[in-house]
Amino acid sequence: MLFNYLRNFVNIKVLKPSTDYAIGNLKFRTSIAHKHSVETYGIIFDFNVKISFMVDTKFFPELIKSYAGSEILIMNLVMYKGKENILHLSVDNAVKILKEIKPKKCILTHFGRTMLKADPDKVAEKLREETNIDVIAAEDEMILNLD
């Protein structure tokens, strides 16, 4: 969100779904539109490694294709158990996504109350065992070394 009185001070570029962009040497692509209560897209960065950020969304099969090839997947995992009317991912959705996309590493973040109650580290361990993917729960001030 950008307040109206600030709009004359910046160069606004409205992002579109499934589109490639570059800012200097930084290359990235937006994902397909997510299913959420507001217009939402993930972002796929093209560094030496393909790093994707799957933000708030309800699960739908097209997510898999949009994030295919992700080597590191950062995933908003709000709920432990899904609810049909809630537009967020659950652990069951995460299993399906990880088994299809097969990233080398997955970082879980953006935990809701039920995820915090379930203990994100234990959930990450469960997902590691179920998917054979290196899954970790994000922590405040966490730094991920890409070397």
Supply 142's token pair.
């966490």
Q: Is residue 133 part of a domain?
A: yes
> Does a structural domain hold residue 147?
no
Residue 116 belongs to a domain:
yes
Q: What would the two tokens of residue 46 be?
A: 């093209």
Residue 117: inside a domain, yes or no?
A: yes
pLDDT of 2 above 90? no
Which range has the worst mean pLDDT, 16-20, 83-87, 91-95, 134-138?
83-87
* 80 part of a folded domain: yes
Residue 145 lies in a domain: no
Does 24 have pLDDT greater than 80?
Answer: yes
User: What is the count of structural domains for the chain?
Assistant: 1
88 Cβ contact partners less than 8 Å away, ≥ 6 residues apart: 56, 57, 58, 76, 78, 79, 82, 112
Average pLDDT over the chain, rounded to whole? 96
Closest CA to 35 of 83, 89, 75: 89
pLDDT for the residue 47: 87
Instruction: Tell me the angle at which helices 120-131 and 91-101 cross, rounded to the nearest 10 degrees.
Output: 40
Specify the pTM. 0.93
Looking at residue 40, its pLDDT comes to 96
pLDDT score at 48: 86
CATH of the domain at 30: 3.60.15.10
- Alpha carbons 143 and 67: distance in angstroms, whole number: 22
Is 144 inside any structural domain? no
CA distance 147 to 97: 25
Residue 47 lies in domain: 4-137
**Residue 147 confidence (pLDDT) above 80:** no
How far is Cα 143 from Cα 48, in angstroms, rounded to an integer?
17
Q: Token digits for 131?
A: 């998917």
Average pLDDT over residues 5-30: 93
Name the nearest CA neighbour of 77 among 133, 118, 16: 118
Tell me if 90 is assigned to some domain: yes
